[in-house]
Amino acid sequence: MLTPEHLHALRNLPLAARQAAEGLLHGAHASRRKGAGMEFSQYRPYQPGDDLRRLDWRLAARSDRYYLRESEIDTSLTVHLVLDATASMNHQDDNGLSKLDYARLLCAALAYVATQQGDAVALTVLHPAGLQHLPPRADPRQLPRLYHMLETLRAEGTFPDRSTLAPLTARRQPGLIICLSDLYEEQDEIMRLLTRLRAASGDVLLLHLLARNELEFSFRGAVTFQDLETGRTLQLDADQQRSAWQTHLHEWLRSTATATRRQGFDYYQLSTAEPLDRALREFLRQRTTRMA
188 sits near another protein (criterion: CB under 8 A): no
249 sits near another protein (criterion: CB under 8 A): yes
Q: Whole-angstrom Cα distance, residue 57 to residue 19?
A: 47
Q: Whole-angstrom Cα distance, residue 83 to residue 260?
A: 17
CA distances from residue 159 to 230, 266, 271 in whole angstroms, order as listed:
12, 22, 22
225 sits near another protein (criterion: CB under 8 A): yes
Is residue 81 within 8 Å of residue 205, measured between CB atoms?
no
Stretch that binds another protein, among 52-60, 86-94, 132-140, 190-198 (CB under 8 A): 86-94
Residues between 22 and 41 with contacts to another protein, criterion CB under 8 A: none
184 sits near another protein (criterion: CB under 8 A): yes
Q: Shortest gap between Cβ of 95 and another protein (angstroms)?
A: 15
Number of residues that bind another protein (CB under 8 A): 36
Stretch that binds another protein, among 110-118, 219-227, 266-274, 275-283 (CB under 8 A): 219-227
235 sits near another protein (criterion: CB under 8 A): yes
240 sits near another protein (criterion: CB under 8 A): yes
Q: Shortest gap between Cβ of 10 and another protein (angstroms)?
A: 25
CB-based burial label for 280 (10 Å; 0-12, 13-18, 19+): buried
Is residue 104 within 8 Å of residue 148, measured between CB atoms?
no
Residue 136 φ/ψ, nearest 5 degrees: -70, 135
Q: Please enumerate in sequence order all residues whose Cβ is within 8 A of that of 267, keeping only pairs 6 or more positions apart, or say none.
A: 206, 208, 256, 257, 260, 261
Q: Shortest gap between Cβ of 208 and another protein (angstroms)?
A: 12
Q: For residues 47 and 240, which CB has a smaller minimum distance to another protein in the complex?
A: 240
Residues pairing with 234 in the sheet? 225
Compute the C-alpha angle 206/212/216, nearest 5°: 115
Q: Shortest gap between Cβ of 252 and another protein (angstroms)?
A: 8
Q: Whole-angstrom Cα distance, residue 256 to residue 129?
A: 27
187 sits near another protein (criterion: CB under 8 A): no
Among 227, 254, 264, 289, binds another protein (CB under 8 A): 227
Q: For residues 147 and 184, which CB has a smaller minimum distance to another protein in the complex?
A: 184
229 sits near another protein (criterion: CB under 8 A): yes
269 sits near another protein (criterion: CB under 8 A): no
Is residue 265 within 8 Å of residue 5, measured between CB atoms?
no
User: Where along the sequence are the contacts to another protein (CB under 8 A)?
Assistant: 88-92, 99, 182, 184, 214, 219, 221-230, 232-237, 240-245, 247-249, 252
